Structure 1
């Protein structure tokens, strides 16, 4: 599967082993950064923001499947 360009509404998973299972929803895209929020998936596959976790900004060039990057997992429903 080809990795798409980051876009709002996509789900990406953190590849860092220290953050195993961390799933992020891209809320918006800027010129150099994406605004993301950590989410969990409901049994129906809907992303739900985790309580107490704030938004983060991540450089767009980190959205690639490397050991310190992120891998695309799909569109949010």
Structure 2
């Protein structure tokens, strides 16, 4: 099993929530508690979707491979 890296600027993460299957985010900034992320790939077809480039903040403790978290894909 591979270790999950600490969230850092430039990394790509995928949403594990089945309702957001396929959604990928790029970390553009971090602070002590949150990461500012930019949408790279919207979730699967058939849903109302945000446009790529949209930014939002996510708590750093959500960047772990659980059913409600995120899994590391790679670096941008």
- The TM-score by the shorter chain falls in which range? 0.7 to 0.9
2:57 aligned with 1:68, yes or no? no
Q: Take 1:35 and 1:7, find their aligned partners in 2: how far apart are those partners? A: 10
Match runs of 1:1-77 below 5 Å: 1-40=2-41, 50=52, 53-76=53-76
TM-score by length of 2: 0.82
Structure 1 stretches of 4+ with a deviation exceeding 2 A read: none
- 1:54 to partner: Cα distance: 2.1
Q: Take 1:59 and 1:22, find their aligned partners in 2: how far apart are those partners? A: 17
Please tell me the root mean square deviation across aligned C-alpha atoms, in Å: 1.3
- 1:75 to partner: Cα distance: 0.6
Stretches of structure 1 that go unaligned for 5 or more consecutive residues are 41-48
Q: Take 2:73 and 2:26, find their aligned partners in 1: how far apart are those partners? A: 10
TM-score by length of 1: 0.81
Q: Take 2:31 and 2:20, find their aligned partners in 1: how far apart are those partners? A: 24
